[in-house]
Amino acid sequence: MATADEIVSESEKLGTKFNKRTLYNYTADKCIPEPKRGAGYGGKWVEYKKLDVIWATIAWRMIHGVYPERNDTNNIIGSIRPPKHHLKLLVFCIKNL
């Protein structure tokens, strides 16, 4: 399990930069799976799955139109491609996780 801060920092390693508010918006918009939530004496907490960084990165890249090159899934710079290339994004994110 990972906190929102860990998801945001891991996404920076994949070449995307967003904040916790963006992550919460993606959760509300069903772009990523719903995290576990709870409350106790220490306050409220939210735990994401480790793989949610991939879904958040894919959502960010699709919204911003940033896709990896067709022939090079290791290219971090990426280029604009139609959304049908989202599977290449998934491969790109998994390789660079």
Residue 42 near residue 32, CB atoms below 8 Å: no
pLDDT of residue 82: 44
Number of domains in the chain: 1
Q: Percentage of the chain with pLDDT > 70?
A: 68
Q: What is the pLDDT of residues 29-82, one digit of tens each?
A: 888 888 999 988 888 888 999 888 888 888 888 888 776 655 544 444 444 444
Those residues whose C-beta lies under 8 Å from the C-beta of residue 87, and which sit 6 or more positions away, are: none
Give the pTM: 0.66
Q: Which of 3, 62, 6 is nearest to 31 (CA)?
A: 62
Residue 33: burial class (beta carbons within 10 Å; 0-12, 13-18, 19+): exposed
Domain membership of residue 37 as a residue range:
4-95
